Structure 1
Amino acid sequence: MKKWLLAVLIVSASAQAAEHGVKELSPGRLLLKEGEMAVGISPAPAKIERVLIIIHGRLRNAQTYLRSAEQAAELAGQSQTTLVIAPQFLNEDDVAIHPVADTVLRWQGNDWMAGGESTAPFHLSAYQALDEIIARLGDRQQFPDVKQIVIAGHSGGAQVVQRYAMLGHDQPALQAAGVPVRYVIANPSSYAYFDERRPVAFSHATCPNFNRWKYGLTDLPAYAEGQTPAQLQENYLKRDIVYLLGQQDIDPNHPALDKSCEAEAQGPYRLARGHNYFDYLKRLAPAGLSQQLVEVPGVGHNGDGMLTSPEGQKALFGP
């Protein structure tokens, strides 16, 4: 375990950004097979039984989400056995502002959210980067006590987690060790559907891209090569997934809500879109859906409020 953590190089630059680009640069660097991933990471407990990978949203504010996840672990009484890792998907705007080594991975705009490939120093899918991080955790020599891995995100980060749960590659080492993976998807603006059915009527003529990735399975990213829609659906329905929805996330005009026709076909606001998608999944699994939908009372579109709520704590750290 210590050997793995030594690969996270702490750098001194944690400058506040200017007008464009990320406000806070994560201080860690995780060495992947191709390039380095910017990361925030919690102090490593002596015995790591759970690893929580928290995914930031469009603001790429990984440190903010790291702190929320650490607080959630503390409130749940799990901080002594939980390691929190917060990858930061930097983009070209960020590295134009901050002093970042050429070896650090970066993406164009929001391409990372849909599994797009990095622009430098190599072409690596954002989902492949997650694969590599998770694969490290399957090394029983370095992580002998890990019993569970949780991948969680709120808002834009939840969109990433939902799509990654759909396309993510198998992890043989984790499966062999019997280490389960849970996905916690909190308040995303939209979901990827498996077919052309949508809960809200719309005009195909004025919304021709409604079923293109990231809203559907047309034009999947290169990362998904070799996987059929039937395989993707079968694998997804088997995942341990908790959909965490804020009861007050009901503003159809929220400034960060996806208001494209592709998203509007899924419902008027995030709470409705989450319920619509869960109902859709139940129709795809007539024998019974093992996934959970949990509402968080009194919370709207607030990542910290969602993760640290009693419901959020149970989703992240419960059985």
Structure 2
Amino acid sequence: MKNILVLLSTLLFNCPATDAAVLPTGSGSFHFTVPQSTKKIEVFSYQPPEANARTPIVFVLTGLNRDADKYRDDWVENARKNKLIVIAPHFSQQDYPGSDGYNLGNIINSQTGKLNPQGEWAFSVIDSLFAEMQKQGITQQKSYYLFGNSAGCQFVHRMLTLMPAPKVKAAICAAAGWWTMPTPQTPWPYGLDNAPITVSQQQLAHYFALPVLITVGGKDDNPNHPLLRRSPQAQAQGDSRLQRAKAYFMAAEQQARHNIMPFNWQFTILSGVAHSGSKMSAYAAQQFGWFEQHGKFKVQDD
């Protein structure tokens, strides 16, 4: 099976542009060479039976452990039920070191403190990979769904804040440990003051207008969680992931209202759920399946 997947990986991104490539049915993996870079990223995939080039695609961003294969596996059952193709890129510690390299998108060189070229940003990988899948005929979709849990949610919300108009149809951001508030008064990286990338009002308006679901577990309220950042700036957002998620949503809503911008976000708390990537993945798959059918997320207020 491993040899078959290697062969499929070779075919996936090395066939002529006139020939449509295919993902393997079921679980698989392939390597993607990042444009304008020598980096190669291993990408874990799942394609349900009877999927085709019109099947919606979900990019899945992992938590701290960067276990893209496990996250892909957690999505399999619900991706099959909801007819979704799962793409989970693995950002290695070697190429994207530490929280600067992943959670903060590798926009800053941690050794020099200078802005990296855009081709080095982790954030740039998602649109580049999607564009290659379009080019190879793997997908006819014009946009994709985006999901991140924990550190992956940190990746997702900063990508949507800092990247101009990524090809995202809708996004779910779950249980970040701390956030970059979409406010110009709060210093980077906890806000946009003195951010290494200037975020225009147009970019913020695009982000606020995007269908985004901020979610967190009702039991993800441990102020002493060993992986929870406790800097004074993080503590100002709240003493737990639950409180910080609420604070982020409220800050975005207030910023949109202040600037008279459309605001299409929603917020949910999953009752009885603590800090769980597998439970958030199952919830997100169901939400994207609903969104694909109804054009909106299914929340209790609907």
TM-score between the two structures when normalised by the length of structure 2: 0.75
Alignment of 1:132-147 (within 5 A): 132-139=128-135, 141-144=137-140, 146=141
Deviates more, 1:242-251 or 1:146-155: 146-155
User: Aligned ranges for residues 118-133 of structure 1 at < 5 Å?
Assistant: 124-133=120-129
Aligned to 2:5: none
CA distance in 1, matches of 2:286, 2:44: 23
- How far, CA to CA, are the matches of 1:212 and 1:249 in structure 2? 25
Per-residue deviation, residues 119-160 of structure 1 (Å, max 9, x unmatched): 9xx96111111221132344494422x365111011111110
Q: Is 1:278 paired with 2:249?
A: yes
2:217 to 218, 242, 246: 246
Partner of 2:280: 306
Q: Does 1:159 pair with 2:170?
A: no
Listed one character per residue, the Cα deviations across residues 251-306 of structure 1 (whole Å, up to 9, x for unaligned) are: 11111212111211111111111112212222222366211112211111001012
Q: Is the 8 A contact 2:187 2:195 kept in 1?
A: no
Q: Hey, what's the Cα distance between the residues in 1 that align with 2:155 and 2:236?
A: 19
Q: Are positions 1:47 and 2:36 aligned together?
A: no
Summarize the alignment of residues 44-83 of structure 1 with structure 2, pairs less than 5 Å apart. Answer: 45=49, 46-48=51-53, 49-74=55-80, 77-79=81-83, 82-83=84-85
Q: Secondary structure at the match of 1:271?
A: helix
- Alpha-carbon offset, residue 31 of structure 1: 2.8
- The percentage of aligned residue pairs carrying the same residue is 23
Relative distance call for 1:150 and 1:256 in structure 2 (3 A) is: same
Asked if 1 retains the 8 angstrom alpha-carbon contact of 2:45 and 2:85, the reply is yes
**Aligned partners of 2:233, 2:146: CA distance in 1, in Å?**
26
Task: Give secondary structure in 2 for the equivalent of 1:315.
Answer: helix
Q: SS of the counterpart of 1:113? A: coil
The answer on 1:190 being equivalent to 2:165 is no
C-alpha displacement of 1:70: 1.8
**Which residue, out of 114, 117, 129, partners 2:104?**
114
Judge which range, 26-35 or 295-304, deviates more: 26-35
Residue type of the partner of 1:220?
A: A
Count, aligned residues: 256
In 2, the alpha carbon distance for the partners of 1:279 and 1:71 equals: 33
TM-aligned CA deviation for residue 169 of structure 1 = 3.0
- Give, in whole Å, the separation in 2 of the partners of 1:4 and 1:284: 46
Task: Report if aligned partners of 1:153, 1:161 keep a CA contact under 8 Å in 2.
Answer: yes
The 1:237–1:4 alpha-carbon spacing in structure 2 relative to 1, beyond 3 Å, is: farther
Q: How many Å separate the matches in 1 of 2:212 and 2:11?
A: 28
What is the aligned partner in structure 2 of residue 296 from structure 1?
Answer: 270
Q: Contact 2:9–2:30 (CA<8 Å) still a contact in 1?
A: no
Distance in 1 separating the partners of 2:233 and 2:138: 44
| 1:184-229 deviations in Å (ceiling 9; x for gaps) | 10111111113366xxxxxxxxxxxx6222x1123434xx3xx444
CA separation of 1:261 and 1:47: change in aligned 2, threshold 3 A: same
Match of 1:258 among 229, 238, 245: 229
Give the counterpart letter for 1:47 in structure 2.
N
Which residue type is aligned with residue 153 of structure 2?
A: A
Task: Please list every run of 5 or more consecutive structure 2 residues that lacks an aligned counterpart in the other structure.
Answer: 1-7, 16-27, 111-116, 292-302
Query: For 2:177 and 2:93, how far apart are their aligned partners in 1?
Result: 21
Among residues 238, 262, 266, which one is paired with 1:267 in the alignment?
A: 238
CA-based RMSD:
2.9
* CA separation of 1:8 and 1:83: change in aligned 2, threshold 3 A: farther
1:169 aligned to which of 164, 173, 177: 164
Q: 1:32-85: CA deviations, max 9, x gaps?
A: 3233212111246541421111001221111111111223313xx224xx2111
